[in-house]
Amino acid sequence: MNFPFFISKRYFVTNKNRNFVHIISWVSFLGIAIGTSALILVLSVFNGFEDLILKMYNSFYPHIKITLADGKVFDPSNIIINNPRIAEKAFVLEEEVFLKYQQKEFIATVKGVSSSYKELAKFDSLLVAGSYIDSYENNNVAVVGRGVAYHLSMGLGAISDQLQVYAPNRSAKSLLNPQTAFKQASILPVGVFGIQSEIDEKYIITPLSFIQNLVDRNDKISAIEIKLKNNNEMREVQEQLQIQLGDRFIIKNRLEQQEFLYKILNTEKLAVFLILSFIMIIATFNIVGSLSMLMLDKKKDIKIFKSFGVTENQIKMIFFNKSILTILVGIFIGISLGVLIAFLQQNYGFVGMGNGNFVVNSYPVLIKITDIFIVSITVLAIGLAASWYPAKVLSRKLF
């Protein structure tokens, strides 16, 4: 067996001398374990919130969205999209409108959708009250966002009242005359959906033909939304469609449609990771102190080793290896403890979100193997840097 490693292991496992040096060594070990566990837990909670937020947004944003590069609307009859990886596609026309419900007024976006949109967005799972628009033969129906319903004081008991929709009249010669400047239609709110406040406060969903007739855009749409059979093929299908349709169209995958959201989530996670890593760096001063005190405590052993012909480099490796063993075991225990707590929270949710009206009752947690690997490498690198210097300097002075 390698001599420095053998002595290092003896120093690590021995419990004979329960002195101050031994206590400091245990404090150093616990600092590594607790710090590693905290990193795993915090990153897992961030993963949980990220997954929860993205699931809410992804229920509204399609895998791929096709829009016109120059202009707003186009005729979809001239576009042929044939790709075996596409599961569903829907035609969409979005227009900003003025809403009036009883004595309340609000500006929102009408999203007119074709019949296939229900399956594309799995809209039944998003309804919090009422039913979807396909339950009615009449096209003058709508599903209203929860935020829009709130601003219009549209309670469940009054959901059958007519909602007045006003849109700019494209054929009007002047907008100064309010009688001709706007076109008006009445729709029946038949349901309320809830996704995320930013979406709920902006959209109402209607049949495509309703908004096309209201704004005089017959047979025109503003986007084609596509759902894929396998969401891991988004980039490949995006590239294929871009080649097929050319530069006339902009084709965005789900990540590009929510680019700002992804940047925020990734930036927040990186910032928290760097802050906790900095705390770990401060915690590693315990390693420097405990290793320095251990080497001073073992001055007699060093002299004995020297009389046996042990070199200065071997002395350095004895204490360096001992510190690395402490770090490795601390990382292992810290990761095990962090993963265990995260697993229990993920399955049993024993840490709640309080008494507020949250989407979930307990803190969401998602464990990722990549996070475990990154935390292990980070803590090990910090520990190596903290162990090398005292082992090198003090071994030279004590040898």
Give the C-alpha separation, 334 to 36, whole Å: 5
Q: Which of 224, 256, 288 is the last residue of a domain?
A: 256
DSSP assignment, residue 247?
T
Q: Are residues 165 and 118 in the same domain?
A: yes
Q: What is the pLDDT along the chain (399 residues), one digit of tens a residue?
A: 566 666 666 666 665 555 666 677 777 778 888 888 988 998 898 888 888 887 778 888 899 999 998 888 998 888 888 888 999 999 999 999 999 988 889 999 999 999 899 888 888 888 888 888 887 878 888 999 999 998 988 865 555 578 899 988 876 665 556 666 788 898 988 889 988 888 999 999 999 999 999 988 888 999 999 999 888 888 999 999 998 888 899 999 888 888 888 888 888 888 888 888 887 777 777 777 676 666 666 667 666 666 666 666 776 677 777 778 888 888 899 999 999 999 998 888 778 776 555 566 778 889 899 989 998 998 888 888 877 766 666 555 555
Q: Are residues 228 and 87 in the same domain?
A: yes
Greatest extent of the chain over all pairs of C-alpha atoms, in Å? 106
- At residue 159, the pLDDT reads 54
Residue whose entry in the numeric block shows the structure tokens 């908004």: 211
Q: Are residues 251 and 267 in the same domain?
A: no
User: Can you give the residue range of the structural domain that contains 157?
Assistant: 64-256
Q: Which of 191, 222, 256 is the last residue of a domain?
A: 256
Q: Are residues 93 and 152 in the same domain?
A: yes
Q: Which of 203, 224, 256 is the last residue of a domain?
A: 256
- At residue 362, the pLDDT reads 79
What angle, 0 to 180 degrees and rounded to 10, lies between the N-to-C axes of helices 369-398 and 259-283? 30
Helices (H) and strands (E) in the chain, counts: 14, 10
**Number of alpha carbons in the 13 Å side-chain half-sphere of residue 363:** 17
Q: Are residues 312 and 183 in the same domain?
A: no
Q: Are residues 44 and 193 in the same domain?
A: no
User: Length of the chain, please?
Assistant: 399
Q: Are strands 86-101 and 104-113 parallel, antiparallel or unpaired?
A: antiparallel
